[in-house]
Amino acid sequence: MSTRPATSNTRQRLARVSRILQNVSRIGMWLWPALTIGGWLILEHLPKAQLQTLAGGPDLGIGSSMICDPAMEFTITWKVKFVGMVVSLVPATLQFLFMRQWVALFGLYREGRIFATENVRCFARMGRLLLGLSIFDILLSTPIHSLVLTLDNPPGKHLLSFGLSSDHVPTFAAGIAMVVIAWVMEEGCKLRSEADLVV
Amino acid sequence: MGVVVNLDVMMARRKVRLGELAARVGITEANLSILKTGKAKAIRFSTLSALCRELECQPGDILEWRFSPEDDADADE
């Protein structure tokens, strides 16, 4: 009752595309934490330059602007790897939950539910997760990762970095946009349910 | 209570069934049921006109206003 059926042709195309995107999202959902863990496991095998820019993972939270000193050495031990992995699993979990919402959203589209309250809920959750992710990236990621990477360095060689990068802006903006979209969609759903009761 | 829909009374008087009336008026049975059970938020003039035509009645035979304390509270505001 809450969603009017789209034309069958469009609906079939939407279902087909949604099925593909749902499967891609499902793969991405598991791939992200796996790459994060994998990145930390092979940390010592990565080139130093990459270690300084990416810290050896898909996105382990260290930007190139963070570690300025090219002579900075990293003592990579299992302790460093483990602590780094645990810390990186926080944003990875947020990303996992974000992708799970994508899977759920494409599942709804696949069923032909394109303007229901469940869709609104998915958008709202995705927005909040993106905001959480960007706030973690902006405030905590760089200092924590810099500290973890130099955890086993000799005294005087530890590093605590703070940095802001324009890379964080799109994620933050996307998070706000998604929350606002969810808000607008919620109002739209209310209007639609009222319109459904106009005979 | 506000506006009360007396469609069921008129349908009983004219001895017409829901499906038949919906087809004659040109709306779905589900929508006519919403109207009949009083769940509707609004009714289009075109629907009301078609109902009056098919049931051979006036809008006042289908819709009726009854006093409710809520209306009184609205008036005070």
Q: Measured between CB atoms, does A71 come within 8 Å of chain B?
A: no
- Residue A151, pLDDT score: 81
* Integer angstrom CA distances of residue A169 from A64, A164, A174: 16, 10, 8
Quick one: how far is CA A159 from the chain centroid?
26
Rounded-to-10 torsion of CA A95, A97, A100, A101 = -100
Give the pLDDT confidence of A127-153 residue by residue, as tens digits. 999 999 888 887 877 778 778 877 887
Question: The complex's ipTM?
Answer: 0.73
Q: What's chain A's average pLDDT?
A: 81
- Residue B73, pLDDT score: 65
Spans of chain B below 50 pLDDT: none
Bigger pLDDT: A16 or A45?
A16
- Chain B: residue nearest A193 by CA? B41
Contact B40 A199 (CB under 8 A): yes
Q: Measured between CB atoms, does A5 come within 8 Å of chain B?
A: no
Bigger pLDDT: A187 or A3?
A187
Distance, in Å, from the CA atom of A108 to the CA atom of B24, rounded to the nearest integer, reads: 36
pLDDT, average across residues A162-184: 86
Bigger pLDDT: A30 or B74?
A30
Give the pLDDT confidence of A55-114 residue by residue, as tens digits. 433 344 444 444 445 566 777 788 888 888 888 888 899 999 999 999 999 999 999 888
Q: What part of B 10-29 touches A (C-beta under 8 Å)?
A: 27
Place of tokens 């939407």: A14
- Residue A131, pLDDT score: 93
Contact B34 A199 (CB under 8 A): yes
Contact A197 B32 (CB under 8 A): no
Q: What part of A 155-194 touches B (C-beta under 8 Å)?
A: 194
- Chain A: residue nearest B48 by CA? A199
Q: Can you give the three-state secondary structure of chain A, one letter per residue? A: CCCCCCCHHHHHHHHHHHHHHHHHHHHHHHHHHHHHHHHHHCHHHCCHHHHHHCCCCCCCCCCCCCCCCCCCCCCCCHHHHHHHHHHHHHHHHHHHHHHHHHHHHHHHHHCCCCCCHHHHHHHHHHHHHHHHHHHHHHHHHHHHHHHHHCCCCCCCCCCCCCCCCCCHHHHHHHHHHHHHHHHHHHHHHHHHHHHHCEC
Q: Measured between CB atoms, does A197 come within 8 Å of chain B?
A: yes
- Chain B: residue nearest A198 by CA? B42
Distance, in Å, from the CA atom of A173 to the CA atom of A168, rounded to the nearest integer, reads: 9
